[in-house]
Structure 1
């Protein structure tokens, strides 16, 4: 396992986490630059396995929530994260031994590194989503019994909002309302847990995986075939499954709208090459949720759906989509913990209204007939 994240490690982590964001998670570029500067000043961040924690050593997950656009205008300094951690420690009567992530997609893959560097604490190599999801309860932490409260929010002006003694669902609802009042974004700390519980609920080694993934992709030199080789090599040796290629083509229809603060819509990809004559429709709500031919689904949440630029192989975030853009569509089986029945209660396709129940991509493609162009890549 990688033992630390240095300046170059931040760049690789930011790159790799875009693949794990499933089209969402927010643009992390500004946070990447900030984290690089902090690590330059403070030194590399130690990366700690959950098995290296003492049973009663406390871990505090951190992140940011709200509008990425507003965050780009009112930039995080990092002090907000540290203040949230310190207030939570005081509320809970504990002292943090490590920082953890809530999700590993996009911006919130970088914020825990920044918090760890500034607090001089190690970063736990794991998170609670294994990808990006839009809501605070959509985590293995919640699904396996960890309380989100005390949950602390801090904005760039130092305004503080504390939530104690309420359910995880109420934390999400209250935080979603409060973040607007706080100016559009806030840093947060919540889901405190001791090492004994961490080992039961965390999706392990996701930070080191994202870092390795970014490093492998950077060596591919923006060539889609080499990027695919890098993805296969990396995912084959991970808790995720091997990528499947669902479609190669171009975007011919795109619909996007903001509903309830989330980016909702759909895109249609018209196939080229061996996919000529096919169309693939992808539904999204902040992240890509379901891909299918007509009424036949090929991949669905919580498995990861990625749309890549057909030239560079780099992931295209939902807000970056454009009509006529040439793309590859991939699906990556999620870790087994994310597919657990308890987790599916909060992140399964029924939670997003796109299907009544979850079927793993491996089974969906067998149902469709197991065409050769849908088998996992084998470079």
Structure 2
């Protein structure tokens, strides 16, 4: 049965994407409002499985790149996303038959929806991150051999910038420099590929999963216990794993600064209730990357780490953190594709300066329980 994304579905997708942002990914609200307006004008869009997409047809992933703060101050029309897709089609002499996501965490869960609505193309149920990451090459598309080039950037429908390179890391570098020159944000299309390729290299069914999560966590749910229960039900029957609660308590120390355009720092949570006397340290670089209890590591990237507001259960962006805020810290096992050796070379702890190997959260819990 064909599924469509309408205004109501966008609300669910937006709500679910907040959790997959792992503290980053940008605020979804403005993109949600834009998507609803464009769907109202253009009609609902088909969401199709990559398994129902023809082998030889072309799909183009899209995203918004750059500063989410500047983006919220200089809103796009949406046509920038349409333009970058059309420019890739012209450059490669192809006709796209579908749109895909670059990252499912945060606002870039919504940018492909806007693009699909404006181009009158279906959205494929797949992305390249399964969460949010800060750089273009931090995708399964890159990890499993798809070229990011040609990549096209635009923050004005009348102006596009083409990036061509055989090295995906070089595409990221050039794109980052371009975005800075363009004022801080831009639409980007990259990693054009065919249907058979996205089935092999994409993280599949992430849009469906994110919509299910948003539907389960209703907007009026005001309790972290209830939210955690819903999350566990949704995730344990998915390509992710069952979320784990690491601590509840309050933030007693927060160190946060902008270094070369990225948010870096740490926070300490002092436990309460069953966790009295415990302290967790959480380290972040645009997203939450590492949780430690004393000298023991509890969770690392690419597993997802979320800090939830205790009263609402809503995930807190790094920018929203405050001292004395009562929170829960949870970890969500990442899709297995992110845990393969190829992908750990791209998004594992060492790629973020963390000097230890990745161990899945489920194994860490068993190790810590056995040591205890």
Give CA deviations for 1:231-264 in whole Å, capped at 9, x if unaligned: 0111121110000000000000000011121100
Quote the RMSD (CA, aligned, Å). 1.4
Matched, 1:47 2:47: yes
Q: Secondary structure at the match of 1:292?
A: strand
Q: Secondary structure at the match of 1:338?
A: helix
Give CA deviations for 1:166-221 in whole Å, capped at 9, x if unaligned: 31010001111110101111001010000011110010110111111011001662
Cα pair 1:267 1:282 within 8 Å, conserved: yes
Partner of 1:320: 320
Cα pair 2:79 2:157 within 8 Å, conserved: no
Partner of 1:210: 210
Matches within 5 A, 1:59-98: 59-98=59-98
TM-score (norm 2): 0.98
Partner of 2:311: 311
Shift of residue 365, structure 1, vs aligned partner: 1.5
Matches within 5 A, 1:15-164: 15-156=15-156, 158-164=158-164
Partner of 2:285: 285
- Measure, in 1, the Cα distance between the counterparts of 2:171 and 2:324: 41
Cα pair 1:307 1:329 within 8 Å, conserved: yes
Cα pair 1:74 1:156 within 8 Å, conserved: no
Partner of 1:222: 222
For structure 1, the residue ranges without an aligned partner over 5 or more in a row are 373-379
Q: Number of matched residues?
A: 372
Matches within 5 A, 1:171-320: 171-218=171-218, 221-320=221-320
Q: Secondary structure at the match of 1:14?
A: helix
For structure 2, the residue ranges without an aligned partner over 5 or more in a row are none
- Measure, in 2, the Cα distance between the counterparts of 1:207 and 1:99: 12
- Measure, in 2, the Cα distance between the counterparts of 1:336 and 1:71: 32
Q: Secondary structure at the match of 1:251?
A: strand
- Measure, in 1, the Cα distance between the counterparts of 2:148 and 2:114: 21
- Measure, in 2, the Cα distance between the counterparts of 1:11 and 1:244: 25
Partner of 1:7: 7
Partner of 1:375: none
Q: Secondary structure at the match of 1:369?
A: helix
Q: Secondary structure at the match of 1:337?
A: helix
Cα pair 1:220 1:226 within 8 Å, conserved: no
- Measure, in 2, the Cα distance between the counterparts of 1:288 and 1:53: 34
Shift of residue 165, structure 1, vs aligned partner: 3.4
Q: Secondary structure at the match of 1:267?
A: strand
- Measure, in 2, the Cα distance between the counterparts of 1:138 and 1:219: 31
Q: Secondary structure at the match of 2:83?
A: helix
Cα pair 1:246 1:330 within 8 Å, conserved: yes
Cα pair 1:270 1:279 within 8 Å, conserved: yes
Shift of residue 225, structure 1, vs aligned partner: 1.6
Shift of residue 363, structure 1, vs aligned partner: 1.5
Shift of residue 370, structure 1, vs aligned partner: 5.7
Cα pair 2:7 2:36 within 8 Å, conserved: yes
- Measure, in 1, the Cα distance between the counterparts of 2:2 and 2:324: 40
Give CA deviations for 1:33-92 in whole Å, capped at 9, x if unaligned: 010011111111100101011110100000110111111111011100111000000111
Shift of residue 109, structure 1, vs aligned partner: 0.4
- Measure, in 1, the Cα distance between the counterparts of 2:159 and 2:267: 39
Cα pair 1:2 1:208 within 8 Å, conserved: no
- Measure, in 1, the Cα distance between the counterparts of 2:370 and 2:278: 15
Q: Secondary structure at the match of 1:149?
A: coil
TM-score (norm 1): 0.96
Q: Secondary structure at the match of 2:145?
A: coil
Cα pair 2:165 2:171 within 8 Å, conserved: no
Q: Secondary structure at the match of 1:266?
A: strand
